[in-house]
Amino acid sequence: MKTKFLFSQALISVSFLAFGQFANPTEPVYTAISEAAGVDSATQLNLRDLQLFQLDDSAEELKNLTFLNLMKNNMESWDKSIFTLTNLQTLNVKENSLKAIPKEIENLKKLEALDIAKNKIPELPKEMGELHELRLLHASFNNVVYISPTLGNCQQLQVIDLSHNQLSAMPAEFSNLKDLKTLQLGYNQFREFKGDWCKIASLEDLDLKHNYLRNFPAEVKKLKSLKALNISNNELTELPDELCKLKDLEQLILSENALTELPRNIGRLKNLRTLIAVGNNFSESEKTRIKEALPDCTVILD
């Protein structure tokens, strides 16, 4: 049974992700390279869903471009002209057939939002560590098995979506991402969540659903800003008591694990408003205890 639940924090993430698709409404948006090339001040170009395999050579003339949407085309490799557009702040290449990220990505040093979701990318290379202005990275639905430790240099990152990949490990350098608020790691191959990753004290939304986690670290108590935690559809048999020290936690999703009880001090989560833990092995007495410990929380156990 798969639990579906809409987080308020997820809505924030979705709105953040969306600006990789939608341009600034206060400035003109051009829908052809030839059209934009005739305007010195052109900053936004939307070439979405045009069946493109490559860009016209005149794309290199668009030196003032800050927004480029190439979503839903037929690109199997990156057009070299993209990396000459050094003023780009938003780049969306979602839903193409890209097989790698070239080293020239490091040229785009002003990039704030990068959407590479739904491609065939196997790794995030070291050159991405040069994107020091990057705030949003959307890389879900790829084949990512490796993330370069240099990504920890992108200290402006606020949202990372790496769900639906093949990851089994993350670099310890992720702990350097002091502004990170949303980390989506669902539908991967994680068998452990290391305590080192709990050093991201700014994190508010952590999603690890549909992995293979068998334990959860006591270091979770360091995630003092955490508001939403989803660790459903894993192989957890117990949770650490330290989980109860997350005073700001509002939403906790634990469904489809092998839990027989929750921490004895679960009632200390005074701000918890939603707990969903269906598909576990709680006794009737444990279900009663949980509900009594959380009188101000919506508790769904069946």
What are the phi and psi torsion angles at 63 (to 5°)? Answer: -70, -20
What are the phi and psi torsion angles at 253 (to 5°)? Answer: -115, 115
pTM of the model: 0.92
> 195 near 223, Cβ under 8 Å?
no
pLDDT higher than threshold 90 for residue 110: yes
| pLDDT, mean of residues 268-276 | 98
Determine the Cα–Cα distance for residues 62 and 42; give it in Å rounded to an integer. Answer: 7
Identify which of 23-27, 54-58, 63-67 has the greatest average pLDDT. 63-67
What is the pLDDT, as a whole number, of residue 196? 81
Q: Which residue type sits at 61?
A: E
Determine the Cα–Cα distance for residues 274 and 283; give it in Å rounded to an integer. Answer: 20
Write out the H or E segment, with its range, that includes residue 116: none
| pLDDT, mean of residues 130-142 | 98
| DSSP assignment string, 52-75 | -SS--GGGGG-TT--EEE--SS--
Q: Where are the domains of the chain?
A: 7-136+145-159, 190-302
pLDDT higher than threshold 50 for residue 300: yes
Q: Which of 20-29, 67-76, 229-238, 268-277 has the lowest mean pLDDT?
A: 20-29
What are the phi and psi torsion angles at 262 (to 5°)? Answer: -105, 165
| pLDDT, mean of residues 1-12 | 40
Measured CA to CA in angstroms, residue 151 lies from 129, 176, 195 at distances of 5, 9, 19
What's the N-to-C CA distance of the chain in angstroms? 11
Strands 159-161 and 182-184, bridge-based pairing: parallel
Instruction: Give percent of the chain above pLDDT 70.
Output: 93
Determine the Cα–Cα distance for residues 207 and 298; give it in Å rounded to an integer. Answer: 20
- Per-residue confidence band for 197, with pLDDT thresholds at 50, 70 and 90: confident
- Per-residue confidence band for 15, with pLDDT thresholds at 50, 70 and 90: very low
What is the pLDDT, as a whole number, of residue 13? 44
Strands 123-124 and 146-147, bridge-based pairing: parallel
pLDDT higher than threshold 50 for residue 17: no
Domain topology for 7-136+145-159? 3.80.10
What is the pLDDT, as a whole number, of residue 195? 83
By CB atoms closer than 10 A (0-12, 13-18, 19+), residue 239 is: buried
By CB atoms closer than 10 A (0-12, 13-18, 19+), residue 78 is: buried
Could you check whether 7-136+145-159 and 190-302 share the same CATH topology? yes
- Give the model confidence (pLDDT) of 139-195 as tens digits: 999 999 999 999 999 999 999 999 999 999 999 999 999 999 999 999 999 999 988
Here the contacts of 43-48 (C-beta below 8 Å, separation 24 or greater) are 43/67, 45/69, 47/73, 48/21, 48/72, 48/73, 48/92
What is the pLDDT, as a whole number, of residue 18? 54
Mean pLDDT of the chain: 93
pLDDT higher than threshold 80 for residue 208: yes
CATH 3.40.50.720 fits 190-302, yes or no: no
Q: Which residue type sits at 197?
A: W
* Beta-bridge mates of residue 46: 69
* Beta-bridge mates of residue 138: 115, 161
> 263 near 244, Cβ under 8 Å?
yes
Q: List the one residue out of 177, 234, 186, 233 whose CA is nearest residue 207.
A: 186
What is the pLDDT, as a whole number, of residue 11? 41
Alpha helices in 22-110 (DSSP H): 33-37
Instruction: Give percent of the chain above pLDDT 90.
Output: 87
Q: Which residue type sits at 125?
A: P
pLDDT higher than threshold 90 for residue 20: no
